[in-house]
Structure 1
């Protein structure tokens, strides 16, 4: 899912800190991030995905169990698949993980360099950037019951006139509810609002 935000500044800063690439999963729920910023080498992404390493990666395991930031070289969790060793072959030689947020909406960011360890200052900058992204992309507050009813009917395929009849309100009142829901979810269209509301379990 993509929000109507520009990440240009953050991406430039992350690339400066992590010339080998970065991968940030924001607000991870049921192993799936609501948002993702990915700039790892395509060859590594393809291999990592094909091998289903996300659930075996010690870097991810650390991020799920701890909050803070840590260089990969300091992670002591087992790596039986040698994922970190394989990552080095794709240019991700040195790196760090930043983990923030509650366990049911954890954000895990990974940044990598090919040439040297990140300095303490660079670690701190990465932590600030990723924590700021986590806060900016916080899932929205619940919709009102009236907005939920309206979106649910439209999602079921009701036309506006039929949905208004079902709710015993005017079409203009229905449109007002839909418009308010779209604005709340920062969606450009009703279809996008329905998709976002469903992604956040709001309807």
Structure 2
């Protein structure tokens, strides 16, 4: 099964390592709150433990997430779908149930983005396009790993990649990261 992309990108090889980008609808800065970042981390950990997902790298920015993933069970498209479905529901539930100064606006916006969708989604957190890029060489892998880890530096959030907690960069520097990863090198 392939996962069609609006811009022509698709996961062709379900067992290959891919660089993926998950972007929020309207580039809404939902991950400026720790609890929403933690939903992503918890889902990452669940997918590693229960779905055969290997997470080689990640960074959670305010409105997008970059990952380098491999699926041991030849089901990367399924894992992507399940990850997005679960995190969408969990984030929406958290917005509705927990203190959130932007509650009305966030729910309105995510409902607005879901309106044109032909599925049963009441709220839409993620864009459809994950821009998957199959990792085809060691050089390309290093380039995507550096791109991922340097995102917070380019955004002016930290001076060094390993200083950003919601990233795998600390792991690659021999420091304790926010979660275990599956090292690429």
TM-score range, shorter-chain basis?
A: under 0.3
- Which TM-score applies when normalising by structure 1? 0.25
Q: Which has the higher helix share?
A: 1
Q: Which has the higher strand share?
A: 1
- Which TM-score applies when normalising by structure 2? 0.27
